[in-house]
Amino acid sequence: MAPIRLRHPKGVVTIQVDLDQFSVLDLQQEIYAATEIPPSQQELKAGYPPHSLTLIPELPLESLGLKQGEQLIVSQKAGAAPASPSRPGQTASTTRSPPLSSPPRSSTRQQPPSSPTNASGPDHVPVDGGYLVHRIVPDDNSCLFSSVALVFEQDIRKAPEIRRIVADAIRRDMVTWSDAILGCARSHFPEYRNPTFDAVFLSLFSRPRDDYIATILRPATWGGAIELTILANHYGTEICSVDVETGRVDRFTPERGDGNRCVLIYSGIHYDAATIAPILDVPDDFHQTRIPIQSEGDDDPILVATKKLADKLRAKRAYTNTATFDLKCQVCGKGLKGEKEARAHASETGHVEFGEY
């Protein structure tokens, strides 16, 4: 069973469907049970920007092209007469939909917010179909992995699993991720040549493969471009990272992509995610985390919105200049100023795990 999120006139709800076995009518029955809108009156939209779905009850659900975690917008046809929700050949008394007074166990009802704005909430910018919202993750040295877990697994607690994906990919591919590549990261990834990235990836420079793998599995170790490259390929989705200080967008494009991209926000030493909410204050699991690519250029609406979100954060000085920020060696506890001192300390002591004060 896979979760499908519904936005409907009375709020939001998550239902569980079998993408392989359900028919379109099965989906409509589940929607009916969760929203009280009969199948004959349902209008569904999916994707970004939202597009209408053609509902042919007898066809398999796969005909709609839905994916796990999909978001559907459900509306009721204007002036439509109520119709029986039963399947062909069944009577209404034998349908599997539960009574309307008792919603299915797999659904969690949420009431719509009382106001369409949220001045005290996270930063956001409007986009077609909702808002691009800054999703903040903890400052615990696993922010990159937590952000990726939020986007692809909808659960930041799965950050350790994201680390294992990276470690396994390096372990399997000794050619792509050789000692030479891992030890000379800045010569292979343009992002490493930008000073604002150097401090974040400092802990992993010039490390043999086995050492790199062991290090990346530790929760105190930061990640960067190598990890994002691996994760983009693993999930088949482009990962875009916007630098708050400069507004630069770095794109990690998979070898075989699914036509979607996601957005991370980079402050100089910390990663957060950005996701699309249809309305502000909806539950986190109703956010759209993967967005279809509409343009390969910088004029893609989501990239434009991403830069606007970075502008808002920059105006609040929500970034760190890595030449002057305060670091702490996680091994010996020594305080350091900027990446220059951190590099010198690493060279002198071999200590390569750092956190921000």
Q: Does a structural domain hold residue 6? A: yes
Give the mean model confidence (pLDDT) for residues 155-173.
95
DSSP bridge partners of 355: 328
Three-state DSSP state, 48: coil
The residue with greater pLDDT, 190 or 63, is 63
Q: Write down the pLDDT at residue 184.
A: 55
Q: Write down the pLDDT at residue 321.
A: 63
Same domain, 160 and 235: yes
What is the β-pairing status of strands 260-266 and 238-243?
Answer: parallel
Q: Does a structural domain hold residue 294? A: yes
**Confidence bin at 157 (pLDDT 50/70/90):** very high
Query: Is it the case that residue 125 has pLDDT exceeding 90?
Result: yes
Among 8, 143, 240, 300, the one annotated catalytic? 143
Exposure b/e, 213-244, CB count within 10 A at least 16 = b = bebbeeeebbbbbbbbbbbbbbbebbbbbbbb
Residue 240 annotated in active site? no
Q: Write down the pLDDT at residue 207.
A: 59
Residue 270 annotated in active site? yes
Residue 184 annotated in active site? no
Q: Where are the strands (E) in the chain, listed by range?
A: 2-8, 11-17, 42-46, 51-52, 71-76, 124-127, 130-135, 238-243, 249-252, 260-266, 271-277, 291-292, 326-329, 335-337, 354-356
Q: How many domains does the chain have?
A: 2
Our measurement of the distance from residue 227's CA atom to the centroid of its chain's CA atoms, rounded to an integer in Å, reads 15
Q: Write down the pLDDT at residue 96.
A: 32
Q: Write down the pLDDT at residue 290.
A: 93
Summary mean pLDDT of the chain: 78
Same domain, 38 and 156: no
The residue with greater pLDDT, 322 or 17, is 17
Same domain, 79 and 133: no
Query: Is it the case that residue 93 has pLDDT exceeding 50?
Result: no
Q: How far is CA 270 from CA 57, 316, 318, in A?
A: 47, 16, 10
**Confidence bin at 233 (pLDDT 50/70/90):** very high
Residue 188 annotated in active site? no
Q: Does a structural domain hold residue 37? A: yes
Give the mean model confidence (pLDDT) for residues 206-224.
83
CA distance 77 to 73: 13
Q: What is the pLDDT of residues 129-145, one digit of tens each?
A: 899 999 999 988 899 99
Q: Write down the pLDDT at residue 254.
A: 95
Among 8, 124, 134, 270, the one annotated catalytic? 270
Find the domain containing 147 and state its range: 124-322
Q: What is the pLDDT of residues 241-281, one digit of tens each?
A: 999 999 999 999 999 989 999 999 998 888 999 999 988 88
Give the mean model confidence (pLDDT) for residues 77-91.
46
Among 184, 211, 285, 351, the one annotated catalytic? 351
Same domain, 90 and 143: no
Same domain, 61 and 128: no
CATH number at residue 27: 3.10.20.90
Three-state DSSP state, 188: helix
CATH number at residue 138: 3.90.70.80
Same domain, 68 and 147: no
Same domain, 32 and 166: no
Our measurement of the distance from residue 347's CA atom to the centroid of its chain's CA atoms, rounded to an integer in Å, reads 36
Q: What is the pLDDT of residues 340-351, one digit of tens each?
A: 677 778 778 877
Three-state DSSP state, 162: helix
Among 140, 168, 298, 326, the one annotated catalytic? 140
**Confidence bin at 10 (pLDDT 50/70/90):** confident
Q: Write down the pLDDT at residue 331.
A: 84
Q: Write down the pLDDT at residue 300.
A: 94
- Using the 8-state DSSP alphabet, how is residue 24 labeled? H
